A and B are shown apart, each in its own frame.
Chain A
Amino acid sequence: MTEQPMTHAQAIDLAAGYVLGALEPAEEAAVHAHLRSCPESHHEFEELGGVVPYLAEIPDLELVEPPASLRDRIMAAAAADLAERKSSATAEPAATTEPPAPVEPTAPPGPDAAPLTFPSTAERPARRDQISPFGWAMRIAAVVAIVALAGWNLMLQGQLDRTQRYDRAVADVIAAAGQPGSQSVILKPNGESTARGIGAIRSDGTVVLAMRDLQATSGTQVYETWVITPGEGVAPVPVGSFTVDVNGTAAITTAPTTAPPGSVIALSLEPGPGSTAPLGPIVSTGVGVAPAG
């Protein structure tokens, strides 16, 4: 991860670059972490950042109309998202606009084919008086588009979802890693796998992970999270399993365990839940590191 936490003065020095998105990735990460943890005022960021949206309106910006097909794509993707939201809302009440809840240990496989239902008018108290015929036509067109292009849409949707979910998961990990007594973990792919991510081991022994590029689970398969404490002949301890859909991302908070610095965090793909020792391939590993100083 990063070396030393950034000082307040260093963060302020980078404020202009930050609000413009013109920092190097490591600098940006350090400023971001600073903003999340530093109790002091950061008005410099607000003052400078407030100007940035206006740069979009510089007078010599050439105005170009996007192709009409873009609207259809966006509406189809939004309709697919709505359908997924509805189906996950029935599966897990609440959490419609909140970031997704951490993957519950051994959650049932995610809905592969979300039912394409739109809310009835009764369910929509705040909607407009009238839906234009075009509005309905658009919805119907969107549904048709999803059905017809299910694979394509899922892929597209997957790309968007992957980014968003991973973003949020990473934010959670960074928040956890910033707590006193937390360790951080970089998980790298193992063997044939491409799975990677970052994690934090909190002082209470829970492990928070943000993973991406995981192969989707199928059937009874689950990923299991293992903690292997340093020392000879120590058996891996399973701390939480989860399923992964085609997005390949996961936000995980495990059960608490004992994980002193130097512990290995490993993910394995298990044929089913409840493994007491890793049976399947280890897909990703990392070592818990306590912050320096």
Chain B
Amino acid sequence: MSDPSGGYSGRTASPSDDADRAVLVLVADGQLDALQDLYDKYRTMAYSIALRITADASLAEDVVQDAFLGAWRNAARYVEGRGSVKTWLLSIVHHRAVDAVRRRKPTTELPEAEAVPPSNLTLPDIWSEVAGNLERDEIATALATLSDVQREAIELAYFGGLTQQEIASRTGAPLGTVKSRIRLGLLSMRHALVGAGGTLAADGFGDEPS
């Protein structure tokens, strides 16, 4: 895509996004003070998410450290057009936090040495994001499109670190119901976010949902 703004029809990247990308270039170049800038900008958000998921201050610190170290090492792998630096970073935090919670829970501990790819490999470069710099109230509006049960299922997964099966046993709903709540909830949010002015990032979706 030669036109850097080509992927963003409704909105362009905010100055904050651009500044973040510039900082990330320096991080990729091994500049410690750039990492510190990035940390200072997002530490509160990162820590708050980690704390909410782990409900353990010390574990949350480890998660944030792990995530920023991951960003420090993998900054060069951040792909522009797949969302902002902020969402990239926060998705790393989220994944590490969920991994940490899972490791702590004996019931869902990974079987020994099985070929389970650590889930942070699956993030965050597998998908494109909803781009654009959506405001918090727009996100709130998108969330408001969810039914209570959809929101509950999604929050149990995202903030609770529960698997779909665990959500099913926790809520008493059949697994298939949980799966469709999550799927429909995410789709509903997506439509609302796109409708709020976010566009689909960069290339990718030939078949736009109508």
Contact = CB atoms under 8 A, between A and B. Distances in A.
A10 B49 CA distance: 31
Given A22-B162, A97-B28, A51 B190 contact: yes
Interface of B: 25-26, 28-33, 35-36, 39-40, 43-49, 51-52, 60-61, 64-66, 68-70, 72-74, 76-77, 83, 87-88, 90-91, 93-95, 98, 108, 110-124, 126-130, 134, 136-137, 139-140, 142-143, 154-155, 157-159, 161-165, 167, 179, 182-183, 186-187, 189-190, 193, 200-201, 204-207, 209
Nearest to B131: A50
Interface stretch (A131-139, A214-222, A247-255, A257-265): A131-139
Nearest to B209: A47
Given A51-B189, A58-B139, A64 B47 contact: yes
Given A66-B47, A186-B115, A119 B126 contact: no
Contact of A22 (B121, B142, B157): B157
Nearest to B66: A160
Contacts of A197: 113
A13 to B, nearest CB: 7
B52 A82 contact: no
Contacts of B113: 186-188, 196-198, 212
B160 to A, nearest CB: 9
A234 interface: no
Interface in A158-195: 160, 163-164, 166-167, 170-171, 173-174, 177, 184, 186-188
A75 B35 CA distance: 8
A70 B28 contact: no
Contacts of B182: 16-17, 20, 22
Interface of A: 1-2, 13-26, 28-29, 32, 35, 43, 45-59, 61-67, 70-71, 73-75, 77-79, 81-82, 85, 97, 119, 124, 126-128, 131-132, 134-135, 138-139, 142, 160, 163-164, 166-167, 170-171, 173-174, 177, 184, 186-188, 196-198, 212
A247 to B, nearest CB: 14
B118 A71 contact: no
Contacts of B40: 71
Contacts of B116: 25-26, 28-29
Given A32-B117, A47-B190, A187-B113, A119 B30 contact: yes
Between A66, A163, A184, A212, the greatest number of chain B beta carbons within 10 A of the residue's beta carbon is seen for A66
Contacts of A85: 30
A177 B204 CA distance: 28
A164 B186 CA distance: 30
Contact of B129 (A15, A18, A53, A138): A53
Given A24-B163, A81-B73, A186 B114 contact: yes
B165 to A, nearest CB: 6
A163 B35 contact: no
Contacts of B159: 55
A16 B187 CA distance: 9
B136 to A, nearest CB: 6
Given A66-B44, A97-B28, A184 B115 contact: yes
Contacts of A167: 117-118, 120-121
B45 A22 contact: no
Contacts of A67: 61
Nearest to A184: B115
28 contacts: A20-B157, A21-B94, A22-B164, A25-B114, A46-B128, A50-B83, A50-B127, A53-B87, A53-B94, A54-B134, A55-B94, A55-B154, A57-B139, A58-B140, A59-B137, A61-B48, A70-B65, A74-B35, A75-B35, A75-B36, A77-B69, A78-B68, A97-B76, A127-B29, A166-B118, A171-B117, A186-B114, A186-B115
Contact of B33 (A21, A32, A45, A135): A135
A196 B87 CA distance: 35
B47 A29 contact: no
Rank and list the top 3 A-B pairs by shortest CB-CB distance, nearest first: A49-B127, A53-B87, A135-B33
Nearest to A49: B127
B119 A21 contact: yes
Given A56-B94, A64-B51, A19 B179 contact: no
